[in-house]
């Protein structure tokens, strides 16, 4: 872990990023550094691997909450609206994390070489899995960073190492959550299709019975499994995604609040403002001003 932390800090220092997130294009990795604890923030996690190299953070989705500490890693298998907060960070020992987006096509291409997942009542279906970081995975990530430094190794070796990283995820402690997602007609794969359907048009009214029918599940079974996998109900999942999309629009444009509300599917700007304030602590106009002042 110390070697990977050194690599991450070197890249962050080279980018002159004392605080925040940095996309290292050469390797495809994302690095984060924070010198102090942070307030709770909302975002959408796409399928990813996250390793906490120093410090700690909490991650929550719906009714589920996890603490990820130094030396631990988590896999996110579905797109999830989450709230997170860095809980351990100081100027001398900042929070440092490494994130690798998952390529589901690469994982599917490798999945046929590993045994299919067997149904088990004891396996937690939640789509965020937490465990100690695998040493072989750390070594492969360090090699990917080194290989990304020079053009010849970046072109010839880095793609092989990226594939190795995905293969190790299917062989290591995170394997079960990914196998459940990748094998066709498992509950996890059906819920993945449902979340993708919801994401495809957030402004569209969500009819749970119709969505359940499209993925071949009863309404009661769909609701139960959707909450087990995502930590929340289908309607709340859509609402959280709408509000996070709205917040991004407020941050990145001068579009009127009412127009943003309509774009993300709200028929009433007043209802949008109430639900926005409930989630983020401030009504939209005030939050836009606070973000602009940061």
Looking at the fold, whether 80 and 119 belong to one and the same domain comes out as yes
Looking at the fold, whether 6 and 147 belong to one and the same domain comes out as yes
Looking at the fold, whether 22 and 131 belong to one and the same domain comes out as yes
Contact 170, 102 (CB under 8 A): no
Looking at the fold, whether 40 and 168 belong to one and the same domain comes out as yes
Looking at the fold, whether 167 and 288 belong to one and the same domain comes out as no
The domain tally of the chain equals: 2
pLDDT of residue 293: 66
Decide which of 143, 158, 180 is a domain's last residue.
180
Report helix, strand or coil for 105: helix
* Axis crossing angle, helix 135-147 with helix 2-14, rounded to the nearest 10: 30
Looking at the fold, whether 169 and 197 belong to one and the same domain comes out as no
pLDDT band for position 289 (cuts 50, 70, 90): confident
Is the model's pLDDT at 119 over the cut of 60?
Answer: no
CA distance 190 to 185: 6
pLDDT band for position 1 (cuts 50, 70, 90): low
How many angstroms from the chain centroid is the CA of residue 256?
Answer: 29
CATH code (residue 20): 2.60.120.10
pLDDT of residue 92: 95
Looking at the fold, whether 64 and 8 belong to one and the same domain comes out as yes
CA distance to 180, 210, 229, per residue, from 214 (Å): 19, 6, 18
Decide which of 180, 200, 221 is a domain's last residue.
180
Looking at the fold, whether 95 and 134 belong to one and the same domain comes out as yes
Looking at the fold, whether 26 and 144 belong to one and the same domain comes out as yes
Contact 67, 86 (CB under 8 A): no
Mean pLDDT of 113-133: 74
pLDDT tens track for 9-47? 999 999 999 999 999 999 999 999 999 999 888 899 999
pLDDT tens track for 168-183? 999 888 888 887 777 7
CA distance to 15, 68, 144, 164, 234, per residue, from 150 (Å): 17, 33, 11, 19, 46
Looking at the fold, whether 156 and 280 belong to one and the same domain comes out as no
Looking at the fold, whether 142 and 162 belong to one and the same domain comes out as yes
Is the model's pLDDT at 277 over the cut of 70?
Answer: yes
pTM metric for this prediction: 0.84
CA distance 279 to 129: 25
Decide which of 180, 205, 223 is a domain's last residue.
180
CATH code (residue 231): 1.10.10.60
Contact 43, 76 (CB under 8 A): no
Q: What residues make up the domain containing 57?
A: 2-180
Looking at the fold, whether 192 and 175 belong to one and the same domain comes out as no
How many angstroms from the chain centroid is the CA of residue 210?
Answer: 27
């Amino acid at each position: 872990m110390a070697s990977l932390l050194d690599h991450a800090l070197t890249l962050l220092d080279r980018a002159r990023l004392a605080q925040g997130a940095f996309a290292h294009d050469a390797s495809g990795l994302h690095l984060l550094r924070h010198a102090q604890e942070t307030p709770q923030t909302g975002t959408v996690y796409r399928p990813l691997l996250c390793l906490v190299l120093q410090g700690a953070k909490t991650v929550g989705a719906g009714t589920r909450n996890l603490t990820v500490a130094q030396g631990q890693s988590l896999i996110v298998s579905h797109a999830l609206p989450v709230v997170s907060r860095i809980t351990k960070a100081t100027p001398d020992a900042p929070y440092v994390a490494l994130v690798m987006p998952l390529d589901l096509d690469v994982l599917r291409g490798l999945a046929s070489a590993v045994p299919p997942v067997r149904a088990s009542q004891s396996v937690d279906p939640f789509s965020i899995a937490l465990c100690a970081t695998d040493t072989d995975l750390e070594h492969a990530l360090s090699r990917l960073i080194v290989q990304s430094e020079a053009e010849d190794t970046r072109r010839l070796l880095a793609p092989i190492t990226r594939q190795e990283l995905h293969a190790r995820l299917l062989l290591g402690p995170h394997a079960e959550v990914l196998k459940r997602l990748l094998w066709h007609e498992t509950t996890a794969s059906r819920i993945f299709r449902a979340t993708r359907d919801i994401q495809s048009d957030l402004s569209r009214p969500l009819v749970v019975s119709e969505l359940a029918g499209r993925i071949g599940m009863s309404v009661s079974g769909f609701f139960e499994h959707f909450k087990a996998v995502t930590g929340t109900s289908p309607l709340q999942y859509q609402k959280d995604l709408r509000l996070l999309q709205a917040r991004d629009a407020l941050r990145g444009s001068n579009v009127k609040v009412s127009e943003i509300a309509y774009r993300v599917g709200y028929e009433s700007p007043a209802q949008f403002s109430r639900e926005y304030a409930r989630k983020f602590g401030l009504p939209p106009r005030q939050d836009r001003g606070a973000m602009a002042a940061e």
